[in-house]
Amino acid sequence: MIKGVRTERAIDKGAIDQMYEEGYLYAKYGIYARKTHGCKIFKVPMNANFTCPNWDGRLSSKGCIFCPDFARQFTYDSFRRVITRDLRDQVSDQVEYYKKKGAGEKALVYIAFGTNTYKPLNELKDIFDAAIDHEDVIGLSIGTRPDCLPDEVLDLLGEYVKKGYEIWIEIGQQSVHYHTAERVNRQHGFAETMRVVKEAHKRGILTLIFLIIGLPYETPSEIVEEARVVSALGVDAIKLYPLLVMKGTRLAKEYENGKYRPISKSEYASLSADFLEHLSPYVIIQRISKDCGLDGKVVPKWRTHRFLVGPRIEKILMMRGTKQGIKHKLGLDMEELKPMDGKITATDVL
């Protein structure tokens, strides 16, 4: 066994319970990771030059309407530093950089940009081997589409789990609703994710789903239903964020033509609070919002960074006197069906 990482798949519910006892209003990943690993964990982004079947013509050549050209228009400094360099160099430079900044002691390599399981199996193995080939790396977090995770790729990832690494797949679902998937040209539905989560868990792989709040034509009740659906699926974590309209995307054109209204700061905060209330208390929140640098973003005009938005959401929960999972309920409480003295039950009526 290596590096002292957890090998079991299941999320540690006891650690999450402890967090609520300590007063946290939702299951924050950073706190959870520190509790379960005994040290601060940070993520280092890595670019292994993946393309996407929704962009290279295999499924479509248009991409999702919000795809900022394979995310390369994002302007984080950390993303700028990882463009097309040797993979091992990328990881060691990033680990050194984040450690110097005091981000933590151990790292998860986050393979971002494009669809990061969309290559032949032997190439994937070389990439994943390079990504974990550093003494401070405890595992991988791989961003991908749910239709690009066949059994053989999951088997390969399962091999790293057996060796003691923590392996996450970050599934770009964005919405569980099929009408939205069609509207934004995802080229897949929710069935693919249902299969992937089940198959991943069999192999000890942890699962995370990306969900966007503010997608065109989604109603508040549909957003709440998303919380219920991902809870029922038993996903381990989510990343929640507002829809960011980036320059050059098709959605930017829709916005310019008055066909898309961006979500406001207060709408996002209040809908996220609703979402959290209906989400299982044991789904870890890896991200509550995100920003992307101001020069590439068209709307929302407000600053979407999680450090600014997270506290606002917490304030709403605090004012409501609620927290994550407070309204989470899947099905009736069957105790209610017991006959009560002097009261008519359904059986009496029949």
Residue number with CB closer to ligand SF4 (52 or 132): 52
CB 130 within 8 A of CB 175: no
Residue 243 binding ligand SF4, by CB under 6 A: no
Among 63, 104, 139, 281, binds ligand SF4 (CB under 6 A): 63
Ordered alpha helix ranges (H), 116-150? 121-132
* 67 binding ligand SF4? (CB under 6 A): yes
Residue whose CB is less far from ligand SF4, 11 or 65: 65
Q: Rule CB under 6 A: choose which of 104, 114, 139, 146 binds ligand SF4.
A: 114
Among the listed residues 45, 104, 172, 262, the single contact to ligand SF4 using CB under 6 A: 172
Binding-site size, ligand SF4 (CB under 6 A): 11
Q: 85: how many CB neighbours lie within 10 A of its CB? A: 12
Distance CA 240, CA 256 (A): 25
| CA–CA distance, 343 with 216 (Å, rounded to integer) | 48
Is beta strand 237-242 parallel, antiparallel or unpaired with respect to 245-246? unpaired
Q: Is 145 in the site for ligand SF4 (CB under 6 A)?
A: yes
**Beta-bridge partner residues of 90:** none
Gap between the Cα atoms of 153 and 117, Å rounded: 7
**134 and 124 Cβ atoms separated by less than 8 Å:** no
> Is 42 or 55 the residue whose CB approaches ligand SF4 more closely?
55
- Report d(CA 28, CA 17) in Å as an integer: 12
Out of 25, 48, 52, 82, the residue judged to bind ligand SF4 by CB under 6 A? 52
At 79 the three-state DSSP class reads helix
Instruction: Decide if residue 64 touches ligand SF4 (CB under 6 A).
Output: yes
Shortest distance, position 81 Cβ to ligand SF4, whole Å: 20
Tell the smallest beta-carbon distance from residue 114 to ligand SF4 (Å).
5
Instruction: Report the candidate in 278, 279, 248, 275 with the shortest Cα–Cα distance to residue 263.
Output: 275
In whole angstroms, give the CA distance from residue 166 to residue 174.
Answer: 24
- The whole-angstrom separation of Cα 173 and Cα 54 is 13
Q: In the bound complex, which residue of the shown chain has the CB atom lying closest to ligand SF4?
A: 67
- Cβ proximity to ligand SF4: between 110 and 165 the closer is 110
Q: Minimum distance from CB of 181 to ligand SF4 (Å)? A: 11
167 binds ligand SF4, rule: CB under 6 A: no
Give least dist CB 55 to ligand SF4, A.
5
Q: Which stretch binds ligand SF4 (CB under 6 A): 22-30, 60-68, 73-81, 208-216?
A: 60-68
Closer by beta carbon to ligand SF4, 45 or else 204: 45
Asked if 296 touches ligand SF4 (CB under 6 A), the answer is: no
119-150 residues labelled b (16+ CB within 10 A) or e (exposed):
beeeebeebbebbbebebbbbbbbbbbbbbbe
Smallest gap from Cβ 173 to ligand SF4, in A, equals 10
Binding ligand SF4 by CB under 6 A: which of 47, 73, 94, 115? Answer: 115
- Chain residues binding ligand SF4 by CB under 6 A are 52, 54-55, 63-64, 67, 70, 114-115, 145, 172
